[in-house]
């Protein structure tokens, strides 16, 4: 895939070429076909040298016929709206695009048949456009809400290039207890450090990240501390990738020891997801390491763990899915990630889980105990 | 002890009429609404049976009116009058027919008539007498009579005898026929499963040869005539003798009393079906019945001898009884009749071949109609019409063999919606008719057919066949909808797609028009394919209908 920054400018050109092809076919009464990259696990490839999931050769072909004419009409309709946005530099969320489409339909009764019954329908069309043009939504000026990724550091300085070309500099040490919120389009950010940054720690729980900062973690360590807030959003993923590439510091992930965290949160952070095969290049940080909680930690620190409850639907499902993942997910199947696959297997066999907050049980009187364990583990190289 | 009892209590016997007058709830008079329906039903059944027995195409007039408050609490006084064009009743028989229990021309004859025992109409007279103070008012005229007999018949409850009051000979403007009028306490329910409308609808469905006039006490329902759709008389087959396997020992002995002084071998040969000389030989050889018994006159046999004969017969594998005694409405008549149910979209009818269930000949017929006016909600269960010997059954459906069969068929396979173990849903009428000279009812009021496994299976098969026919129609309809949808799609989206593409490519009008024509050509091809699909579905349906028609004709010829 070509470098994203150069492709972004080509979207109007790509779209016009596609439409010209469709028009040519129609003029000849030939059935036009639109090809889109198949974004699913069965088309996901993993090359340990690249480090993230990339799309395979499989394409989804949509041939124009009576059944697909509605989808194609909607695609062209939405594409026109997006091209308008790209021309003027306007940005929107998916929900806003849904309402914008509603607005066009409201003002032009001829478009009524295209009307979306709910946002899911317009979201699907937006995703289809991305897969068709092999671009990601941020490139077509469609942004998600910036969720997660709140970042704390005494060393980090971020320089943002604005749409009008002006620059803004944010010194994170000047923000007090407020975190820095990364944007969905990290390509516009440039990072630098006051002092060499020793590591970046991504904590699964936003609350725990906050606690560590409040207890002086970022004061005592030359580091970047980030809260992931569950499954990493595009903002978190792009931001982590930026830190990895521009600061070249080791990145560690600290989260729960359970199947969901391993296969949904950590895998997405490290190698991207099957649904976003097109954009994993810019939205994954392959260097990130799994610091804990590791199965060994339970014994070593005598952590409080507990069996997976049968009635916890999410956990039970994740554990069941772990079996499929070990067999089908190219990321976990690759020998480079054997250590991570072993953790999944351990979870499958033992059916136990241990939360990140269990570090607080080690010495309840010492609020900095989790920090001590984390630093100790980094020093000893006790991570996967 | 017996001596003690004799000294303190007097043993009395009561008449049949006395028994029934105290237990009218057992024969269909358990509620006010039921009383109206049962009275009407009994009068109509008698009228239809009388016409059919005498090869008269029945024309029946029903009048129901409210006269005011009834004598009982919450009841109204209701007049029910049924007039037929039947042969009329011999004046001497009038008190017996309407005023005497178990006085029947049909009792135990093994024919597919509606009435069987001679209880119903006498019960109606009793009800009128008990609640209205007067018995049934009868007018009857036989062919050749100059005047008609008019009389009030009442039941002499003590003696189970009918009595005639206010006897008069009057002028009546018809050559023959009978009019019966009851004034009873009751309540009128028009709609719903147990409603009068359902009864009238059902009666006209299973009697295609009936012309029915009715006038109901509802200003919104005008006086109505449902014309007959068939002039064919239902051929009521001759009675067959009972099959030994369907009898109990007591019935077996009682059966012998009808014969008196005849040789036992003759009694067995003539009085039962499927018992011939070879069976008698077999009884002697394998069942060890003494040869001398067969030589004796049947009235001289003692209980032990009856028992050895009976058990011998029960243990022999006899042939199943003949199915020639069942009557069917026929698919053709049913197809015509079903159109009288209202505006029917389409329908499917199935007449099964007569078969043996529980050693009794039975024939099952099914008609499914879809109503054109879909006033009912889609999730409302289908309307079920149940019939036993062409009489609508309207109460206590959940225990009925017909209902059990309906809920155990997988209707989803035929394109209908069906919640688990329930009736299918939608604007359909499903009519199931069971005809047999020996229908086993759950009670004397003949509201529910007993659910034996064999009968349920037979009904299920009929329903499934009807379902298969129906699904062919539904599939064809789906194809038609699909075609319509496709054409609509083309008309809607084609121009929008071309306009959009041309705006993005900034194409000129010439290119736009060319692309529009190209697109129409493309999508038109799809529509043509859908049309072909529809045609082939229609052809398949047509071929299926022709095939079933042919096979029916072959069956008829073979029969």
Contacts of B494 in chain A (CB under 8 A): 69
Flag if A23 and B494 touch (Cβ within 8 Å).
no
Tell me: do B358 and B386 sit in the same domain.
yes
Q: Does residue B155 contact residue B125 with C-beta atoms inside 8 Å?
A: yes
Domain containing residue B296: 244-315
Site of tokens 């950590």: A266
Nearest Cα to B386, choosing from B408, B366, B371? B366
Per-residue pLDDT tens over the stretch A165-176: 899 999 999 988
In a domain, B4, yes or no: no
Indicate the residue among B283, B315, B347 that finishes a domain: B315
- The span from the CA of B124 to the CA of B137, in Å, is 12
Phi, psi torsion values for B15, nearest 5 degrees:
-80, 165
Question: What per-residue confidence (pLDDT) applies to B29?
Answer: 81
Above 60 in pLDDT, residue A223? yes
| Spatial separation of the C-alpha atoms in residues A259 and A366, rounded to whole Å | 29
Q: What tokens does B4 get? A: 């003690």
pLDDT digits 0-9 by tens, B411-454: 988 888 898 888 998 888 888 988 887 777 777 667 788 888 88
Q: What is the per-residue pLDDT for B118?
A: 62
Percent of chain A with pLDDT over 70: 97
**Are B56 and B190 in a shared domain?**
yes
For the cut 90, the answer to whether the pLDDT of residue B126 exceeds it is: no
For residues B443 and B495, state if they share a domain. Answer: no
Torsion angle of C-alpha atoms B120, B125, B128, B134, degrees rounded to 10: 180
Alpha carbon B348 to chain centroid, angstroms: 18
Query: How far B522 CA sits from the closest chain A CA (Å)?
Result: 6
Same fold, A4-140 and A151-380: no
Same domain, B481 and B458: no
Task: Quote the pLDDT of residue B548.
Answer: 57
Strands B428-435 and B383-388: parallel
Orientation angle between helical segments B196-206 and B331-338, nearest 10 degrees: 140
Whether residues B504 and A80 touch (CB distance < 8 A) is answered with yes
Answer positive or negative: Cα dihedral of A340, A342, A347, A348: positive
Q: What is the pLDDT of residue B556?
A: 47
Residues of B in contact with A65 (CB under 8 A): 522-523, 526
Which residue of chain A is at minimal alpha-carbon distance from B483? A66
Chain-chain contact of B500 with A65 (C-beta, under 8 angstroms):
no
Check if the beta carbon of residue B190 is closer than 8 Å to that of residue B197.
Answer: yes
Q: Is B491 a residue whose pLDDT tops 70?
A: yes
pLDDT one-digit tens code per residue, B349-404:
888 887 877 777 888 989 888 887 666 666 788 888 888 888 888 888 888 899 98
Spell out which chain B residues touch chain A, with contact meaning CB-CB distance below 8 angstroms: 486, 489-490, 492-498, 500-505, 507, 511, 514-519, 521-523, 526-527, 530
- Tally of helices (H runs) and strands (E runs) in chain B: 15, 14
Residue B410 pLDDT exceeds 70: yes
Chain A residue closest in CA terms to B514: A27
pLDDT at B340: 75
Residue A264 to residues A255, A256, A314, A344, B460: CA-CA distances in angstroms? 12, 12, 12, 12, 52
Q: Is the domain of B376 the same as that of B254?
A: no
CA B85, CA B50: separation in Å to the nearest integer? 9
Q: Is the separation of the CB atoms in B212 and B226 below 8 Å? A: yes
Summarize pLDDT for B137-193 with one digit per residue, the tens: 999 999 988 999 999 988 887 887 888 889 899 999 889 999 999 999 989 888 887
Q: Report the pLDDT value the prediction gives residue B177, as an integer from 0 to 100.
A: 93
Which band of pLDDT confidence, cut at 50, 70 and 90, is reported for residue A4? Answer: very low
d(CA A231, CA B479): 46
Q: For residue B145, tell me if it sits in a domain.
A: yes
Report the distance separating Cα B326 and Cα B110, nearest Å: 9
Q: Which pLDDT score is estimated for B175?
A: 92
pLDDT for B318-334, tens place per residue? 877 776 767 777 777 77
Which among A231, A221, A226 has a CA at the least distance from the CA of A206?
A226
CA distances from A304 to A354, B260, B305 (A): 7, 97, 88
* Mutation site, A23, A75, A104, A129, interface B, largest B CB count within 10 A: A23
B1 within some domain: no
Q: Are strands B391-393 and B360-371 parallel, antiparallel or unpaired?
A: unpaired
Q: Is A344 helix (H, G, I), strand (E, B) or coil?
A: helix
Domain range list for chain A: 4-140, 151-380
Residues B434 and B515 in one domain: no
Only one residue has tokens 């004034």, namely B183
Q: What is the mean pLDDT of chain B?
A: 82
Segment A141-155 mean pLDDT: 88
pLDDT of residue A47: 92
Strand pairing category for A156-161 and A167-171: antiparallel
pLDDT at position B5 is: 47
Question: Which of A242, A355, A374 minimizes the C-alpha distance to A304?
Answer: A355
**Residues A261-276: what's their mean pLDDT?**
93
What span, in angstroms and rounded, lies between the C-alpha atoms of A55 and A130? 13
Least confident interval from A122-126, A264-268, B344-348 = B344-348
Which pLDDT score is estimated for B530? 67
Residue A64: its pLDDT value, please?
87
Mean pLDDT to the nearest integer, A66-83: 92
Q: What is the pLDDT of residue B292?
A: 86
Can you give the pLDDT at residue B353? 81
Q: Is the pLDDT of residue B107 over 60?
A: no
B497–A76 C-beta distance less than 8 A = yes
**Residue A351 C-alpha, separation from nearest chain B C-alpha, in angstroms:** 37
Class of domain A4-140: mainly alpha
CA A174 → CA A156, A202, A203, A228, distances in Å? 10, 21, 22, 22
Place of tokens 């209590």: B9
Is the pLDDT score of A191 beyond 70?
Answer: yes
Asked if residues B500 and A73 have their Cβ atoms less than 8 Å apart, the reply is yes
- Strand ranges, E, within B28-72: 59-69
Same domain? For B341 and B445 the reply is yes
| H-run or E-run covering B505 | helix B453-505
Evaluate if residue B559 carries a pLDDT over 70.
no
* Inter-chain touch A29–B517, beta carbons under 8 Å: yes
Q: Final residue of a domain: which of B429, B445, B473?
A: B473
Spatial neighbors of B319 by CB under 8 A, at least 6 apart, are B274
Q: Are residues B205 and B101 in the same domain?
A: yes
Q: How many CA atoms lie within 13 A of B541 on its CB side?
A: 19
Domain end position, chosen among B422, B445, B473: B473
Q: Which of B486, B501, B514 sits opposite A22 (nearest CB)?
A: B501
What confidence score (pLDDT) does residue B445 get? 66
Helices (H), chain A: 4-8, 11-27, 69-88, 94-107, 119-133, 206-214, 217-220, 234-247, 259-260, 267-271, 295-300, 313-328, 330-333, 338-350, 369-380
A interface with B, Cβ–Cβ < 8 A, is 15-16, 19-20, 22-23, 25-31, 64-66, 69-70, 72-73, 76-77, 79-80, 83, 110-111, 113-114
Confidence of residue B287 (pLDDT cuts 50, 70, 90): confident
pLDDT confidence of residue A105: 94
pLDDT mean across residues, chain A: 90
Are B415 and B475 a contacting pair, CB within 8 Å? yes
pLDDT-based confidence at residue B557 (cuts at 50, 70, 90): very low
Using CA atoms, how far residue A127 sits from A138, A272, B449, in Å, is: 11, 16, 61
CB pairs < 8 Å spanning A and B = 82
Q: What is the phi-psi region of residue B102: left when phi exceeds 0, alpha when psi lies from -120 to 50, beta otherwise?
A: left
Cβ-nearest to A76 among B500, B511, B515: B500
Domain count of the fold of chain B: 4
List chain A residues with CB under 8 Å of B508: none
Query: Looking at residues A73-101, what average pLDDT do you find?
Result: 94
- Reduced to 3 DSSP states, what percent helix, strand and coil does chain B have, rounded to the nearest 5? 45, 20, 35
Max mean pLDDT among A120-124, B15-19, B119-123, B322-326 falls in: A120-124
- The CA-based dihedral angle spanning residues B519, B523, B528, B531, taken in that order and rounded to the nearest 10 degrees: -150
> Is residue B208 assigned to a domain?
yes
Given an 8 Å threshold on Cβ–Cβ distance, is A69 in contact with B515? no
Total Cβ atoms within 10 A of residue B342: 12
B424 with B445, same domain?
Answer: yes
In whole angstroms, what is the distance from residue B133 CA to residue B136 CA? 10
Which of A23, A69, A72 is the closest to B507 by Cβ? A23
Cβ contact B179:B83 at 8 Å:
yes
On chain A, the residues whose CB falls within 8 A of the CB of B502 are 23
Residue with tokens 């039975």: B362
User: Residue A363 — φ and ψ, nearest 5°?
Assistant: -140, 95
Q: What pLDDT is recorded for position A219? A: 93
A20–B505: do the CB atoms touch at under 8 Å?
yes
Checking if the pLDDT of A255 tops 70, the result is yes
Is residue A268 within 8 A of residue A211, CB to CB? The reply is: no
Residues B527 and B389 in one domain: no
Mapped onto helix, strand or coil, the DSSP state of residue A110 is helix
Give me the CATH number covering residue B291. Answer: 1.10.8
- With a cut of 80, say whether residue B34 has pLDDT above it: yes
Strands B177-186 and B136-141, bridge-based pairing: antiparallel
Task: Report DSSP state, residue B242.
Answer: P
B35: pLDDT strictly greater than 70? yes
- Any idea which fold A151-380 has? Dna Topoisomerase Vi A Subunit; Chain: A, domain 2 (3.40.1360)
Both B378 and B300 in one domain: the answer is no
pLDDT at A6 over 50: no
Q: Please say whether the beta carbons of B427 and B376 come within 8 A.
A: yes
The whole-number pLDDT of residue A5 equals 40
Judge whether B9 lies within some domain. Answer: no
Q: How far apart (Å, rounded) are the C-alpha atoms in residues B457 and B115?
A: 26
The alpha-carbon gap from B517 to the nearest alpha carbon of chain A, in Å, equals: 8
Residue B549 confidence (pLDDT) above 60: no
pLDDT at A7: 44
Res. B341: pLDDT tops 50: yes
Whether residue A69 and residue B493 make contact (CB cut-off 8 A), yes or no, is yes
* SS3 state at B473: helix
Identify whether residues B468 and B481 lie together within a single domain.
no
Percent of chain B surpassing pLDDT 70:
86
Rounded to an integer, what distance in angstroms lies between the CA atom of residue B355 and that of residue B324? Answer: 10
Q: Is residue B417 part of a domain?
A: yes
Q: What is the model's pLDDT at position B13? A: 65
CATH number for B414: 3.30.230.10
CB-CB contact of B124 with B43 (8 Å): yes
CB contact under 8 A, A23 and B492: no
Cβ–Cβ under 8 Å, residues B211 and B60: yes
- Residue B238 included in any domain: no
Alpha-carbon dihedral of residues B61, B172, B161, B46, nearest 10 degrees?
-30
CA distance B370 to B167: 50
Query: Do B522 and A65 make contact, defined as CB atoms within 8 angstroms?
Result: yes
Contacts of B517 in chain A (CB under 8 A): 29
Q: Is residue B548 part of a domain?
A: yes
């Amino acid at each position: 895939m070509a470098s994203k920054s150069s492709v972004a400018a080509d979207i109007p050109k790509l779209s016009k070429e596609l439409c010209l092809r469709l028009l040519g076919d129609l003029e000849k009464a030939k059935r036009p076909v639109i090809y889109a990259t198949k974004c699913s696990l069965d088309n996901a490839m993993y090359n340990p040298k690249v480090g993230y999931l990339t799309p395979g050769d499989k394409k989804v072909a949509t041939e124009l016929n009576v059944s697909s004419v509605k989808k194609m009409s909607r695609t062209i309709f939405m594409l026109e709206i997006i091209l308008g946005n790209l021309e003027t530099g306007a940005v929107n969320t998916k929900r806003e695009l849904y309402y914008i489409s509603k607005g066009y339909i409201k003002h032009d009764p001829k478009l009524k048949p295209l009307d979306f019954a709910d946002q899911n329908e317009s979201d699907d069309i937006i995703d289809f456009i991305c897969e068709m043009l092999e671009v990601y939504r941020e490139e077509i000026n469609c942004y998600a809400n910036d969720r997660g990724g709140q970042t704390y550091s005494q060393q980090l300085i971020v320089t943002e290039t604005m749409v009008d070309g002006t620059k803004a500099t944010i010194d994170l040490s000047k923000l007090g207890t407020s975190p820095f919120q990364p944007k969905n389009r990290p390509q516009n950010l440039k990072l630098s450090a006051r002092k060499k940054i020793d590591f970046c720690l991504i904590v699964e729980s936003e609350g725990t990240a906050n606690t560590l900062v409040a207890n002086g973690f970022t004061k005592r360590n030359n580091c970047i501390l980030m809260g992931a807030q569950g499954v990493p959003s595009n903002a978190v993923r792009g931001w982590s990738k930026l830190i990895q590439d521009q600061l070249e510091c080791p990145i560690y992930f600290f989260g729960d020891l359970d199947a969901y965290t391993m296969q949904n949160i950590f895998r997405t952070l490290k190698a991207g997801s099957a649904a976003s095969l097109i954009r994993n290049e810019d939205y994954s940080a392959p260097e990130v390491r799994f610091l804990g909680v590791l199965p060994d930690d339970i014994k070593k620190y005598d952590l409080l763990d507990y069996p997976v409850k049968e009635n916890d639907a999410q956990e039970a499902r994740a554990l069941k899915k772990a079996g499929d993942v070990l067999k089908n997910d190219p990321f976990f199947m690759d020998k480079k990630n054997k250590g991570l696959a072993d953790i999944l297997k351990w979870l499958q066999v033992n059916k136990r889980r241990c939360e990140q907050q269990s570090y607080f049980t080690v010495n309840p009187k010492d609020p900095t105990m989790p920090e001590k364990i984390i630093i100790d583990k980094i020093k000893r190289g006790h991570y996967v | 002890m017996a001596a003690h009892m004799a000294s303190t209590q007097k043993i009395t016997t009561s008449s049949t009429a006395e028994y029934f007058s105290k237990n009218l709830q057992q024969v269909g008079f358990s509620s006010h609404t039921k009383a109206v329906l049962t009275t009407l039903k009994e009068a109509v059944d008698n009228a239809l049976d009388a016409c059919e027995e005498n090869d008269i195409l029945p024309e029946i007039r029903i009048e129901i009116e409210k006269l005011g408050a009834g004598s009982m609490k919450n009841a109204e006084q209701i007049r029910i009058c049924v007039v037929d064009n039947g042969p009329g009743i011999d004046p001497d028989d009038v008190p017996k027919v309407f005023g005497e229990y178990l006085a029947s021309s049909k009792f135990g004859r093994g024919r597919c008539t509606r009435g069987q025992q001679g209880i119903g109409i006498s019960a109606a007279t009793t009800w009128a007498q008990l609640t209205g103070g007067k018995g049934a008012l009868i007018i009857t005229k036989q062919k050749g009579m100059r005047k008609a007999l008019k009389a009030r018949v009442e039941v002499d409850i003590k003696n189970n005898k009918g009595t005639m009051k206010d006897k008069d000979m009057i002028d009546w403007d018809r050559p023959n026929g009978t009019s019966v009028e009851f004034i009873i306490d009751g309540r009128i329910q028009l709609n719903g499963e147990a409603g009068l409308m359902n009864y009238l609808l059902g009666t006209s469905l299973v009697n295609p040869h009936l012309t029915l006039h009715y006038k109901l006490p509802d200003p919104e329902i005008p006086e109505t005539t449902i014309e007959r759709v068939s002039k064919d008389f239902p051929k009521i087959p001759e009675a067959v003798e009972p099959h030994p396997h369907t009898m109990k020992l007591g019935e077996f002995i009682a059966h012998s009393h009808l014969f008196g002084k005849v040789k036992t071998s003759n009694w067995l040969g003539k009085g039962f079906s499927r018992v011939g000389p070879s069976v008698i030989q077999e009884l002697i050889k394998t069942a060890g019945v003494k040869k001398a018994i067969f030589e004796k006159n049947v009235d001289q046999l003692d209980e032990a001898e009856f028992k050895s004969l009976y058990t011998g017969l029960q243990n022999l594998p006899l042939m199943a009884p003949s199915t020639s005694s069942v009557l069917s409405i026929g698919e053709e008549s049913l197809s015509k009749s079903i159109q009288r149910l209202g505006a029917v979209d389409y329908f499917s009818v199935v007449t099964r071949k007569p078969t043996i269930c529980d050693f009794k000949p039975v024939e099952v017929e099914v008609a499914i109609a879809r109503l054109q006016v879909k006033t009912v909600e889609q999730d409302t269960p289908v309307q079920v019409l149940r019939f036993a010997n062409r009489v609508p059954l309207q109460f206590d459906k959940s225990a009925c063999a017909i209902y059990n069969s309906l809920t155990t068929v997988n209707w989803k396979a035929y394109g209908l919606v069906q919640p688990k173990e329930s009736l299918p849903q939608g604007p359909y009428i499903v009519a199931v008719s069971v005809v047999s000279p020996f229908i086993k009812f759950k009670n004397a009021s003949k509201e529910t057919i007993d659910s034996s496994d064999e009968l349920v299976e037979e009904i299920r098969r009929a329903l499934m066949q009807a379902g298969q026919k129906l699904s062919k129609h539904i599939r064809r309809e789906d194809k038609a909808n699909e075609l319509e949808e496709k054409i609509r799609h083309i008309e809607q989206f084609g121009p929008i797609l071309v306009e959009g593409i041309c705006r993005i490519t900034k194409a000129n009008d010439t290119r736009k028009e060319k692309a529009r024509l190209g697109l129409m050509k493309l999508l038109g091809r799809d529509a043509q394919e859908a049309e072909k699909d529809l045609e082939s579905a229609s052809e398949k349906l047509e071929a299926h209908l022709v095939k079933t028609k042919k096979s029916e004709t072959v069956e008829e010829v073979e029969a």
